[in-house]
Structure 1
Amino acid sequence: MKYTPEYEAELKDLQRELVLLQQHVVQNDKRLLIIFEGRDAAGKGGAIRHFTRHLNPRAMRVIALPKPTEKEVGQWFFQRYFLGLPNPGEIIFFDRSWYNRAVVEPVMGFCTPEQYEEFMGQVNNIEKMLIDDGIQIIKFWFSINRTAQQNRFEARKSDILKQWKLSTVDALAQEKWDDFTYYKEKMFERTHTLSSPWVIVNGNDKPRARLESIRYVLSQTEYAGKGKTSTRLHPNSKVVRPYDQEYLVAKRESDKL
């Protein structure tokens, strides 16, 4: 993908701000957890790479867990994710998270209805405990439409550099689109809270999604030198907004039909 010089310049300024944010996290023993969720091919991995490109690798980690082992299947569901929680002075990026159990697993039959309900009944309290302990949590959902997803799947198939991204879930993502939508909406309804809200990112335009999601993170924390680059730090609400605002916008649009 080719980017304009204007995009590259804007991205570099935002990445400079991210470096300042990371310095604040390190110097003040802060703990920041950023969760990236969304449909397959929504742009989560690319966004994470744009976030982390110039960060100090000793003070950040990207967590992208594989399929659980037989031993992990027998553990408490959250246990393996807790190993990736941020230490003092660290930023953690979850490329998918415990919310696999809220959407992907029930759609694909990877968990039982009882396991799904147990998770949904626990997750809000667990996140509140993490927040009360001092961890700042930001939960992104990268949203794309059906056509954008299909086009990105086709691009993966034809590009050997992207073929590693293809999975069995990808193969069924379009067929089970409505099922994913159902569980996604149930997840928002039950896990969007005042202390741990869902933030919806319009991912159809990858460059804008990346810039505005970075802006959102920067807007949520005060740090020394903030705004030093003079670039805009407040996200565009047409691209990034909390779920409750997204829901109201969608309801207004449906009421017009």
Structure 2
Amino acid sequence: MRELVLAAHGSAVPGAAAATARLAGAVRRLTGVPVTVAHLDHQVPSLPWVLAGRPGAVVVPLLLGDGYHRSVDVPAVAGRFDCLVTPGLGGESAVALALCERLREAERAAGAPADAVVVAGAGSSRAGGNGGTLAAAEELGRLVPVPVAVAFCSAASPSPAEAVARARAEGFRRVAVAAHLLAPGRFSRALEGLPGAHAVSAPLVDHPRLARLVAARYGAALDRPEAVPLRVA
């Protein structure tokens, strides 16, 4: 049985590692296989260090978009150790549903439902790198009865502050921010203090739907390893 490695971005913000560890534990319970977290930045152990001890593992990128890390970094490292790299987590209904549920939690904590929503993703300048956020916003727009806009915390526009200000200028007064982010980090911290936001939802990493999605990615890789994209020879 191939081991499972979660390739997380990593963050120096307290709480990020614990949140990812909770996801790893949930996935371990679902799959019954060893699950190890590796990091692309900020934290150890690093992805090369982890994969060096687990050749042939299945690597599931804990990434919501196909930016540079997903498209270049992870496959390049995995290829050195004959590992399979599954698709990331972006663009899946499970992510949009988890985002909606986190949004509802934030609205309840704020005491009233939003009259407009801004979906805030990390942002990428790479072609296709923002597709996960755009897909989540489109699906969320079918789940909630209010207008949904998109913003990016870096590398693309509009920024969350600009999107919230625009919605308020259009007459909306309870503008909630749905954080299309996996783990606590500098982006989630910036959103928490966003002026004019009625509510800001929590990151998604330890939502039960994410654990089930990761387990499904792993199972699909075992069932049809030849069909897993980005297997690097």
Q: TM-score, normalised by structure 2?
A: 0.35
Higher helix share: 1
